[in-house]
Amino acid sequence: MTNINEEFIDEYLRELVPKNKEFLIFMEKYAEENHVPIVEPEVAQLMKVILKSNKPKEILEIGTAIGYSALVMMDTLEGNCHITSIERREDMIHLAKDFISKTPYGDNISIIQGDANEVLNHMEGSYDLIFMDAAKGQYMEFFEKCIYLLRPGGMIIADNVLFRGMVASDELVIRRKITIVKRLRKFLKYINEVEGFTSSVIPIGDGVALIYKEDKSFE
């Protein structure tokens, strides 16, 4: 239970989600057995709706892990996009590449090894969608760098922004997580006030923030 919703609500929402393809189910089982955090089913379903609506061609992902989210996005778009993913851990990259190699999407996903804050300093180009699912305490830093890489009319999706409910309630905060909680609160306040962006925080999974970059060409 994530402490965002009552357990029966999470279970009901997950029962509504259509069954995934076999290679994604295999990855879900691997993640569960090896305690690798991956995007929750209801969050993945929200992402699928956004992807099908926006049809992004260039996607940047911060936090590859075993490649599950990248493959969810790629499969949703039927391979009609390119994903650049950043991952710090070499062992995760090896796992991700192995899983990706067993799908038709090997040529569509590029993985960059390194600390995202450092890698983002040197990235060029522009992206239609950016998915943030890495160090939660660094979301503000990621956002400040990503806004220059995000095209007008593009969206940033940030996962785990309510952090087991701690961000919304002091009663849930664990002492060793105080710094992360404070940083996430600062991040959520900022994205809802910063000029040129429209944001919404959705209480599903562990909390999801949708951040839309205004397209001034329509003004």
Q: What is the pLDDT of residue 3?
A: 61
What confidence score (pLDDT) does residue 2 get? 58
pTM value is 0.94
**Residue whose tokens read 């209801």:** 42
Rounded-to-integer distance, Cα 162 and Cα 188, Å = 9
Q: For the chain, what are the domain ranges? A: 7-213
Confidence of residue 218 (pLDDT cuts 50, 70, 90): very low
pLDDT of residue 5: 86
32-65 as b/e, with b when 16 or more CB fall inside 10 Å? eeeeeebbbbbbbbbbbebbeeeebebbbbbbbb
pLDDT in tens, 37-65: 999 999 999 999 999 999 999 999 999 99
pLDDT in tens, 81-106: 999 999 999 999 999 999 999 999 99
Q: Could you give the CA distance from residue 132 to residue 69 in angstroms, rounded to a whole number?
A: 10
Categorize the per-residue pLDDT at 4 as very low, low, confident or very high, splitting at 50, 70 and 90: confident
Task: Return the pLDDT at 176.
Answer: 94
Q: Which residue has the tokens 């926006």?
A: 54
Q: 108-135, pLDDT tens digit by residue? A: 999 999 999 999 999 988 999 999 999 9
Q: What is the CATH number of domain 7-213?
A: 3.40.50.150
Contacts of 166 (CB under 8 A, 6+ apart): 3, 172, 173, 174, 177, 181
Picking from 38, 87, 40, 91, the residue whose alpha carbon sits closest to that of residue 64 is 87
